[in-house]
Structure formats: structure tokens, C-alpha cells
Amino acid sequence: MKLKKRNIIYRGKVFDIIVDELEYFDSGNHTIREVVEHPGGAVVLGVLPDNRIILIKQYRYPIDKFIYELPAGKLDYGEDPKVCAIRELEEETGFKPGKVELLTYIYTSPGFCSEKLYIYLAEDLQKRKQNLEEGELLSIEFKSIDEAVEMVLKGEIVDAKSIAGIMIGEKNLETAMGDEIKNGNRQFNVEMKKCIFKGCQGELEEISYYERNNWITVEYQCKKCKRKFTVKIET
């Protein structure tokens, strides 16, 4: 299609609305496309040292309810998405990451909106000061990645960007755990039921067990250092 005329009918704080007048190459017929132009954003799957992830429960005015989400925020125009991810995680949760890795990106509604969201995995988190903007109403919760996946499957997490981040993150963390096991660098010894995180040697207690999609998932907690570990076994 050939662009004949562009009309910016609204400029807002978060997005602009554009109406483009177009011409089809083959027929010469005219049509229009209504586009929401958005600068994009960054989404963060933050993983704590005990392998729990950070969720926020945030009030969203357009739907008039609190929903579970991963921390996220809008890019400033021209901003590096990684910089945005680090900033938003610290502002919303008070955690600053030492390691940030891009998992993927998604287009939220490509039929009418240009919004592109970059999804990051953040690790080596250090507790800093939360710095919420006026009007941001949210609370912080910590869940294992398996608990978060179950929340998605049960319809308790319905935010699309968060669903994408959690489901992709689960596979990424699962692969990392498999590599640790292959390399003999496990932070716990399931057979001996001992935590070996920095020489802890505390006794492990099984706190949850369930089966899903040919996998058995067992969660342990160290009675001494209180760290939680998840073991997945393919059946």
C-alpha cells in the first residue's frame, strides 16, 4: 500500500493516534488505517537468590481492578530498553539487578498499535529503595516460577505481557537449572537432602509436590537458610 496522507489526530502523554490515508498498489482503491503509535516498553522477570520471582499487584484504571503483572514501564523516546528495564524494576519494587538478559520482544496488538515490549530476565538482585510515581497503586509478592505458571493456567494472571514473560522465563530457568545439574554445580543435593549454598549444609524439607505435562515438580526449603529450591523431573 502507498501512503497518501498522514493525519495525527491526537498527541498524548503515552501514545499518539494517527489516521493514514492509503492507496492499494493493484487496484488503486483508497482506504484508511487507524494506528496507535506507542514508544514501546520494557518488562522484567526479576529472579531472587532463592529462585522466587517478583510479581506486582497493580491497580489499572481502564479496567478498574487490581491485576498481577511483572514490573514494566514505558520507554522514553530513543531510550535503550535495557536501561528502561533496570529503572522500572528499581522504581516499582526497590530491587536493582546486577545482571540483565533480553529474553524476547513482543508486539502487544499489531492490528492497530505499534507498541513493542522487550522482556528481560533480571538476576543478582540487590534491595534498594522503592520509588513509585504518584498514582501508582501496587503491592509486591514473591512466587516461585512454578506458582506463577499455575496462576497463569488458572486465569489468576491475565496480563498478556506478564504471561509471555513468565512462560518464556520458565523455559529459560528450566534450561539453566538443567545446565547446573549437568555441570555438577547444584546448590542442593536432593539425594542427601542437604543445602550446599555457600556451604550451608542445612536440612531440606519438601514443601510442595505436583505433576504437570509429564513433569514432576518438587519444591524444597532449607530449614537453616530458608532458601527455596525447585527440582523438576521428567516422567
Cα angle for residues 81, 153, 149 (degrees, 5° grid):
50
How far is 152 from 157, CA to CA, in rounded Å? 5
Report the alpha-carbon distance of residue 41 to residue 39 in Å, rounded: 7
Quick one: which of 67, 71, 68 has its CA closest to 45?
A: 71
β-pair partners for 199: none
| Residue 205 a catalytic site member | no
| HEC profile of 162-226 | HHHHHHHHHHHHHHHHHHHHHHCCCCEECCCCEECHHHCCCEEEEEEEEEECCEEEEEEEECCCC
Of the residues 134, 174, 205, 206, which is catalytic? 134
Nearest to 41 by CA among 115, 134, 97: 115
Q: Which are the catalytic amino acids?
A: 134
